[in-house]
Each structure stands twice: as structure tokens, then as C-alpha cells.
Structure 1
Amino acid sequence: MTTGAGELVRRLAENAETVCRRYLSNGRREGCYWLVGDARNTPGRSLYVRLSGGPEGRGAAGKWTDAQSGDHGDLLDLIASACGHHRLGETLAEARRFLSLPDTSLPLRGPQRNLPAGPAVPTPSSERARRLWAASRPLSDDPVATYLRERGLRSVASGAAVRHHPNCFYRPSDLDHAATDRAWPAMVAAVTDLGGRVTGVQRTWLARDGLGKAPVATPRRAMGMLLGNGIRFGEAGAVMAAGEGIETMLSLREILPTMPMIAALSAAHLAALLFPPVLRRLYVACDADAAGHSALRRLAERGAQAAIEVIALHPCLDDFNSDLIRLGAPSLAAALAGQLRSEDAGYFLSQAA
């Protein structure tokens, strides 16, 4: 890249969320990332853009990865793809227009005077996530407990990774009705790193009686540092399971209550999950879509490099929670027995109550 292009990349990264809202309008913010289907602005969740971070390296703001294709780059690359550019000059001119900069090369050094100030750099939301987690309550006779029971999920222990917030703030989106309530009961799940530190949360807003999700446009939202981390059930071990959704992993935990499990919240985050040092075999609960298959391939590639065996687990119906509810625990256990390594089937299935 030219020096001018490098300066544009830096300025775009300082306004990463605004860039995403302009050029990736079919996506949405989740925690410290913008999620969308791909660099052409297709709806979905395979591509994730980091909205905050340091100026350089893998954790830099503006860096993005497509978990399905493996492509990655910076915000200039995204603008080029979203606009269908074929020459770098077109993309540089578009970036300068977006930033309201003169259509000339940017100065190499010295203060930048008479240039409009961009939006503030998004601040990390991990601290807000920790405050929300601390304000949430262990499960008892509440809407979260009702919601989980209705999904056939009864093995969530008090004080575990899932809590209840009786009146969790909901910010309506453009898709919500103008009269949408601003607070609902919520299932709050802690996202933690390998050391057990809370780095984020996922909120699932629920109906006030717990019989289903709240009538809002986006009943699930996450915030905080999610990449590489996850919602953990049980202590890390040599054999573990991982997947996208909380309900998916809790359904498996009904059958395999002593197997440690992680919910990564999306295919993109599942593909980037950090492996605990003790891990030697990872079962992956696969969603039956392109993003899920891509996450499995990426995990298998990374696992091979780390001497970790990666094995897919496939539901009989559309997902493991449907298997649990509609087929029943004995049928789900039988289906899993045929997919687990024989030694794991013998051990973990024998631990079920």
C-alpha cells in the first residue's frame, strides 16, 4: 500500500463502526464486532469486523475475517468489495469521500488541521458486561428457569454460567415497533476467557412469564470481548464439546452432564475459539448451514496443528434442542453414542443420571 492508503486505513479504523454501518448495512453490532454474511454485504454472520482494539496486529480495530471463506483484510478491502471496485484509486477516493478528506494524498506527518472530527472510537464493552453479570441473579423460580424448562433443559446449576436479570434494558432497533418496551426479563450468560475472567455477556430477552422470547426484533445480543472466548459449562478437560448456541450445548449437557462444553455464540466465533491447553479431543455440535460447516473445517485445521482431534456431532433433526424435545433424551443419547469415540461414550454416557 502507499503511505496515503496506510493513513486512510488508520482513519477508517478509528471510525470502524460507522464504516460498517455505511458499507455493511445488512450486518449488525454484537459486542465489539460487526457481523455480516460476507464482504459484499450479504445478510448473515460469517464475517466479523473488530470495532475496537490497538492500532496494529491481529487485535487491531478494523481488521476482519470471513469464517466461511477464510478471507481477511482491513476496511479499505471491505470498501473495495462492497462498492465493486477494480482499482485501488477508486477505493482511496471513496474512502476520502467517506472521511470528508480532500481528494489528494494525506500529509505524512504533522498535525491535521481543518479536518472534520470523526465519531469517537467505540469503547470496549467488557466492563459494562461485567457490571451486568454482577447485577444478575442466580437462577431460582424466575422466567429464565421457566424458559429453560420449556426447552427441556434442567441441568443448569445455580451459580453457573447462566443467570437471570429481572429488568434488563433493551435498546429498540430500527426493526422494532415504536412502542416496544425498553426492559424485559433476560437470560444473561457469561462469556469468559481461558483464565475464567468475564469478558462479555449474551442477553436473551424473554417474555415476562418465561414462555418464549420477548416480542422484540433482536431478542439475543452480546457485548464485550467475544473472539476466542465462550460461555463455559464445566471445567476444561482433555475431552470437550463446543458449538454455537447456549440451548444447543445445554441440550448435549442433559445427556453428557460431566463433559465440559463451550457455547461460542456464532459460527465465526466458534471457528476462532481458543483451545484450552489440556484439550486433546473436541466434539463440535454442527449447525446444518454453510457457516457451520466452515467453522468445523477451520476448527479441524487448527486442531490438527495443535494435535487436537476434532469430531463432528450431527443432530437428527434441525438442532440438538429439537432432538431433545421431540425425540426424547433416550433417543438423543442413542444417537450420540454412535458418534462419540467408544471410550468417551462408555464414560460420559454412564455419568448421566
Structure 2
Amino acid sequence: MRRPNASELARLLADHITRLAPELLPHGKKDGAEWRVGSLAGEPGQSLAVRLTGARRGLWCDFSSGERGDALDLVAACLFSHNRKDAMAWASTWLGLANNAPQAPVQRPPVQEKLNSPELDKEAQQRRAKARRLWQDAAPGIAGTPVETYLSGRGIDLRLLGRAPGALRFHPAVWCAEVQRPLPAMLGAICGPTGKMVAVHRTWLAKAPSGAWCKADLANAKKVLGSFAGGCVRLWRGGSGAALGMAPDGDVTILAEGIETALSCAVACPEYRVLASVSLSNMAAVKLPDTITEIIVAADNDAGNPAARKALKAALHQFAQQGRTVRLAVPEIEHGDWNDVLRNEPDTGRNRS
């Protein structure tokens, strides 16, 4: 009996995708015609979508990394570090096509095992390598680039700081899976505790008819490439001018969520060190040296968001448990952030301890 080729196996797997996707990615959820999950590693989330019905069934895309493929590629990515030969053998058994193969499916290893396996390490390394290549492809410095214009349009005049943060770069063509083509983007280097870059934050930009640069009109114009738990974007060194790992005793640090919010704080308080945690859920995990004894958390005004309040409370508690003095700064603008204060109402923000 002739063995099915890769294309045939992909088609057969796609015919059973409603059973295959939950088996490969059990922490996902059905969302209309798609199975949604956080990543190929199987974490809960929405970044990866697998089509369940119609002519495109079996096709998938990880919108955070740009990876995509058919049902056979999904097997290869989830189970065999993208090795299609091993995936074909597995698929033949799962489909009951292999010689003496049982009809019962071969089960995917439990997600917890996957998270601790060398396969995930390899996936993480691949994403980190992609992030570093993307960063290296962009020229250092943002002076005279669309990034400088974009930030200026947000009320962030970096000339007031005397220099632009080295953690930001401009890239003229960064692949955007949402529109299936490259777009200009602001890149932010996310560094781990040792100072090495572990991921890159992408903000896609577009030029308005007026000639101004603004955030691209996308469902999600901001995405991270790579795993960044515990990392942050090091935007401003404050009065000491020392690197984060060499922060002097008593160093005061402002920690904000987004890059634009953090830069707004740097412009307003250049004497303080300023970091961006990238996401509120990551804020509590940001690793800081013991010499930083006081933290000002520049939070968004998300009073109506229970999840945001919970994540913020966790961050405040975590830093207090570390023996640091923690202050909370929240703008008075409802559903606003400190960039809104900088742009619109510079005298209405206040600190709440």
C-alpha cells in the first residue's frame, strides 16, 4: 500500500482538525470557527488560531511570531520541534494508516511536560533568535526616523531628555501577520535581569494623509516576539546614568506598563530611572536589583477593569514584600494613562500613595 505524502497527510489531518486541535493544544478554547490558544507550547491565550471549518480548515497562524502552516505543520511544531518527517510518522499512526497501527489516536504529551521539555527550549530559542535578528536589522538611533515623529505626535519630546533611549529603534519593514505584509515599526528591546535582550516589542506605524506618523490601524498594533517574563524595556537611566544592573543604593525607579506611558514619565521626571514592563501581568515579575529601594508604579486609570486591578495589586504586593518602598501614581483622567496627561491635561495628574 502506497504511503500518503505530506500533502495528503495534511489534508487528512485537516478533515479531523476539530478532534486534532484540542488534542495537540488542550488549553485552548473554541472561538467561532477557530481554536484559540496562547502559543505552540500550549499556554492559554488568543495569539494562535487554528481554523476548524470551511475550505481553510487545518490552517493555523501564531500572530505573535508570524509562524503559520497546515495541519501537518501544526503536528510538527507542537510535538517534534518542526521535524516534518517525525510528524508524518505520527500522523500516519494517529490516522490509523500505518501498518498494524491501532485506530486510537496517539495522545499529545501533557502540556506541563511540554513546558519543561527541550522541545520548548528549542522553540523559545528560535523565537529569541528571530527577535535578535529583527533588532540587529534595524539601525541604532531613532533621530529623524518615523519613530521620533510618532512619539512627538504623542506629546513625547525626546529633546527634553537630551538623548533618545537606546532601547528603541525603527525598522522600515516588519512582517505583520494581520495584514500579511511588512509594515514600518517601532522596536523596543526587552531585556532580562542580566541585561541581555530576550524579546522585542513591535509597534506597527502608518503615515497619515497629513504626513504625521501614528499607530497603524490594526486590531492589535502592538505585539511581542519572544518570551519576556520578568523582563522590561530599559528606557531611561535617571540621574545616576548607571545601567540597571549597576543602579546605586537608593535608586528611585518608575515602572510603567507601556512604552509611551513610560517615556511620558521620563520626560516629566528625568531624575528617576524609568522602565516599561510591557504588560500589566508581567509587572510583578520584573526583576530589579536590591539597590533599587523605592518604586513608583505609574499605573493606567483602569478602575473599571477587575483583571487590571488584580494584576496591579499583585505587583504592588510583590515589590513591598521585597522590602522596597512602593508608591502608586494614577492619573485622574478616567480610563487614561500618563501619556494622556502629558498630551492633554498636564496639570491634572496626581500621585496617590
- SS of the counterpart of 1:139? coil
- Distance (whole Å) between structure 2 residues aligned to residue 307 and residue 251 of structure 1: 27
Match of 1:258 among 271, 278, 282: 271
- SS of the counterpart of 1:291? helix
Distance 1:239 1:306, change over 3 A: same
Deviation at 1:264, TM superposition (A): 1.1
Deviation at 1:314, TM superposition (A): 0.6
Distance 1:204 1:160, change over 3 A: same
Question: Is structure 2 residue 149 aligned with structure 1 residue 161?
Answer: no
Number of equivalenced pairs: 245
Which residue of structure 2 aligns with residue 277 of structure 1?
A: 290
Question: Is structure 2 residue 218 aligned with structure 1 residue 200?
Answer: no
Question: Is structure 2 residue 282 aligned with structure 1 residue 243?
Answer: no
* Unmatched 5+ stretches in structure 2: 1-21, 47-63, 65-93, 96-101, 238-242
Question: Is structure 2 residue 148 aligned with structure 1 residue 148?
Answer: no
Which residue of structure 2 aligns with residue 214 of structure 1?
A: 216
- SS of the counterpart of 1:229? coil
Distance 1:192 1:323, change over 3 A: same
Map 1:99-138 onto structure 2 (within 5 A): 116=106, 121=119, 123-124=123-124, 125-137=127-139, 138=141
Which residue of structure 1 aligns with residue 67 of structure 2?
A: none
TM norm structure 2: 0.60
- Distance (whole Å) between structure 1 residues aligned to residue 315 and residue 294 of structure 2: 11
Contact 2:24–2:108 (8 Å) recurs in 1: no
Distance 1:16 1:163, change over 3 A: farther
Deviation at 1:148, TM superposition (A): 0.4
Write out per-residue CA displacement over residues 38-68 of structure 1, whole angstroms, 9 at most, x where no aligned residue.
Answer: xxxxxxxxxxxxx9xxxxxxxxxxxxxxxxx
- Distance (whole Å) between structure 2 residues aligned to residue 293 and residue 299 of structure 1: 10
- SS of the counterpart of 1:218? coil
- Distance (whole Å) between structure 2 residues aligned to residue 148 and residue 126 of structure 1: 26
Question: Is structure 2 residue 181 aligned with structure 1 residue 182?
Answer: yes
Contact 2:254–2:273 (8 Å) recurs in 1: yes
Map 1:1-353 onto structure 2 (within 5 A): 18-22=25-29, 28-29=38-39, 34-35=44-45, 116=106, 121=119, 123-124=123-124, 125-137=127-139, 138-155=141-158, 157-158=163-164, 160-172=166-178, 180=179, 182-208=181-207, 211-233=213-235, 234=237, 235-236=243-244, 237=247, 238-287=251-300, 288=302, 289-317=305-333, 318-328=336-346, 331=347, 335-336=349-350, 339=352
- Distance (whole Å) between structure 2 residues aligned to residue 31 and residue 263 of structure 1: 26
Contact 1:32–1:224 (8 Å) recurs in 2: no
- Distance (whole Å) between structure 2 residues aligned to residue 31 and residue 257 of structure 1: 40
Distance 1:214 1:269, change over 3 A: same
Larger RCO (alpha carbons 8 Å, 6+ apart): 1
Write out per-residue CA displacement over residues 273-299 of structure 1, whole angstroms, 9 at most, x where no aligned residue.
Answer: 222221111111122232332223212
Contact 1:202–1:220 (8 Å) recurs in 2: yes
Contact 1:228–1:272 (8 Å) recurs in 2: yes
Contact 1:286–1:293 (8 Å) recurs in 2: no
- Distance (whole Å) between structure 1 residues aligned to residue 148 and residue 41 of structure 2: 25
* Unmatched 5+ stretches in structure 1: 1-14, 37-50, 52-99, 102-111, 173-179, 341-353
Higher fraction of strand: 2
Contact 1:245–1:264 (8 Å) recurs in 2: yes
Write out per-residue CA displacement over residues 168-226 of structure 1, whole angstroms, 9 at most, x where no aligned residue.
Answer: 11112xxxxxxx35111100000001221000011000003553212222211102121
Q: Percent identity?
A: 26
- SS of the counterpart of 1:19? coil
TM norm structure 1: 0.60
Contact 2:284–2:316 (8 Å) recurs in 1: no
Say what the alpha-carbon RMSD is for the aligned residues.
Answer: 3.6
Contact 2:280–2:308 (8 Å) recurs in 1: yes
- SS of the counterpart of 1:258? coil
Q: Which has the larger radius of gyration?
A: 2
